[in-house]
């Protein structure tokens, strides 16, 4: 029999520490939609998604009611669209995806994507060039482009193109502070089973469909650390591990239930600490609880490294399949502590870049001046992709050059995407560097066979 303390601890985690399951994401393969006349591709895709995901939202709500834990998002990820879009207008395809996602009631659909880490096909190029219009004229479609891997190196032609695409996406949504860029991620070493947006897609190594679940719970970790003030780091790491274990067990339970009820195979649980802009749900506040006055000061990278590792160690035993991005997210606009640190000028782009060497993803939801040249954005992407390539980890850039705004201004996206101060970038040019194009060769440790 459970004891009262355990039951009340769970309730406290949910009520006061904002424990939730961040997302149930259904991965759907669209490869079966390809055969048939090109003119009917959008209809076939719409039908496939509407049929497969018909019960996703009601089942998610049902599990939420029964277990009494919020399941914040229900989402869909699809086969990277560039693999199936040859001969079709990519923007029309994005609109079909948008309609299908809305028909089944999900919050976001990810996978308007291209994997171009070595080179681009004609279909990849067409899709990438269509990203600004696709994101500006749809509501829930998210896009990602993989420009590098440890095995293939970095496709610098794609990196150059993505700088231009990000600028254009921002310009097309300038009345919303460049909101389209919040739905666009540039990856190195992208993973095939990530349930989190905006970078989710259903990889080609996946089956017809899969249920992937992303857990959350920065508030729970912070509350646990409040109990061990002044204790050595061994105790801090142990406390995080224990907490991550409990959080992940809930994710595993939800994933199994969703898989059973939807009759879709269980894929993975993503052990990520995903913050929200509300108080008590911040990764930055965990770092500050460890003893940093403000996130971004000296010691931040070490604190984040410990956190990221302990989350994985604690969570991995709690789930039969762990995957996705798994670690601590550090999106600036989506984390109240990060927003405060950026407002104080302590958290700068260079420090964020250092943090991405030890956390789960990368430069995320960072607003930069609207007049930042496309080549500078490409160079930021190249730096981040290089960190991913050399360290054999996923890295990403989701950056927003807010049109008409400069350092000191704010961008406001609302909801989970939050708000952020514009932070400065180096003004010295990277144009000649980016103009070279070509491919940065894969590192020596890619040759492991």
Partner 1 sequence: MKAVVTVLGKDRTGIIANVSNLLYQKGVNILDISQTILSGMFTMIMLVEVGQDAQYDEVRSALMDLAKEMGLEIRVQRSDIFDAMHRI
Binding stretches for partner 1 (CB under 8 A) = 1-2, 4, 6-11, 65-69, 246, 249-250, 252-253
d(CA 335, CA 168): 26
At its nearest, how many Å lie between partner 1 and the CB of residue 12?
11
Q: Which is nearer to partner 1, 8 or 122 (CB)?
A: 8
To partner 1, the closest distance from the beta carbon of 91 in angstroms equals 42
CB of 13 to partner 1, least distance (A): 8
Residues in the chain: 449
Residue whose CB is less far from partner 1, 16 or 429? 16
DSSP one-letter string for 381-430: HHHHHHHHHHHTS-EEEEEEEETT--TT-EEE--GGG-EEE------S--
CA distances from 222 to 136, 228, 229, 250, 287 (A): 37, 10, 11, 18, 9
Nearer to partner 1, 11 or 231 (CB): 11
Question: For residue 238, how many C-alpha atoms fall within 13 Å in the half-sphere facing its CB?
Answer: 7
Please say whether the beta carbons of 110 and 76 come within 8 A.
yes
Q: Which is nearer to partner 1, 138 or 252 (CB)?
A: 252
Distance CA 369, CA 373 (A): 9
Q: Please report how close the Cβ of residue 7 comes to partner 1 at its closest, in angstroms.
A: 5
As measured in angstroms, the least distance from the Cβ of 314 to partner 1 is: 12
Please report how close the Cβ of residue 220 comes to partner 1 at its closest, in angstroms.
Answer: 11
Of residues 152 and 262, the one with the C-beta less far from partner 1: 262
- What torsion, rounded to 10 degrees, do the Cα atoms 413, 270, 246, 10 define? 30
Least distance (Å) from partner 1 to the CB of residue 260? 12
* Degrees, nearest 5: CA angle 33-195-157: 70
* Contact status, residue 67 vs residue 253, Cβ threshold 8 Å: yes
Q: Considering beta carbons, is residue 15 or 428 the nearer one to partner 1?
A: 15
First to last CA, the chain: 52
Q: Which is nearer to partner 1, 1 or 444 (CB)?
A: 1
């Amino acid at each position: 029999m459970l004891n009262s303390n355990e039951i009340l601890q769970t309730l406290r985690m949910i009520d006061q520490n904002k424990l939730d399951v961040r997302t149930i994401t259904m991965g759907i393969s669209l490869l079966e939609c390809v055969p048939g006349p090109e003119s009917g591709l959008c209809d076939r895709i719409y039908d496939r998604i509407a049929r497969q995901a018909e019960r996703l939202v009601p089942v998610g709500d049902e599990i939420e009611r029964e277990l009494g834990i919020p399941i914040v998002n229900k989402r869909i990820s699809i086969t990277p669209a560039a693999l199936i879009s040859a001969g079709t207008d990519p923007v029309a395809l994005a609109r079909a995806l948008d309609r299908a996602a809305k028909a089944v009631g999900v919050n976001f659909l990810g996978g308007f994507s291209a994997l171009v880490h070595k080179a681009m096909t004609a279909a990849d190029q067409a899709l990438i060039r269509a990203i600004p219009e696709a994101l500006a004229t749809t509501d829930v479609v998210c896009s990602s482009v993989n420009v590098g891997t440890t095995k293939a190196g970095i496709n610098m032609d794609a990196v150059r193109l993505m700088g231009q695409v990000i600028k254009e996406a921002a310009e097309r949504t300038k009345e919303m502070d460049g909101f389209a860029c919040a739905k666009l991620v540039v990856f190195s070493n992208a993973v095939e089973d990530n349930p989190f947006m905006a970078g989710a897609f259903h990889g080609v190594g996946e089956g017809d469909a899969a249920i992937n679940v992303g857990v959350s719970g920065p508030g729970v970790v912070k509350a646990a650390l409040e109990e061990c003030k002044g204790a050595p780091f061994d105790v801090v790491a142990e406390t995080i591990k224990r907490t991550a274990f409990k959080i992940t067990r809930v994710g595993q339970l939800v994933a199994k239930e969703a898989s059973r009820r939807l009759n879709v195979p269980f894929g993975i649980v993503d052990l990520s600490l995903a913050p929200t802009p509300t108080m008590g749900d911040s990764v930055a506040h965990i770092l500050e609880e460890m003893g940093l006055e403000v996130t971004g000061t000296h010691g931040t990278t070490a604190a984040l490294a410990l956190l990221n590792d302990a989350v994985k160690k604690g969570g991995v035993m709690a789930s039969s399949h762990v995957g996705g991005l798994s670690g601590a997210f550090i999106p600036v606009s989506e984390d109240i502590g990060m927003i405060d640190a950026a407002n104080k000028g302590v958290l700068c782009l260079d420090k964020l870049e250092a943090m991405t060497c030890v956390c789960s993803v990368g430069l995320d939801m960072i607003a930069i001046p609207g007049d930042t040249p496309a080549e500078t954005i490409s160079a930021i992407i190249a730096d981040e992709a290089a960190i991913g390539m050399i360290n054999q980890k996923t890295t990403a850039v989701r950056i927003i050059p807010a049109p008409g705004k400069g350092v000191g201004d704010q961008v406001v996206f609302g909801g989970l995407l939050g708000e952020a101060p514009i932070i400065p970038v180096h003004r010295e040019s990277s144009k000649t560097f980016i103009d070279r194009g070509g491919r940065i060769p894969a590192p020596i440790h890619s040759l492991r066979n």
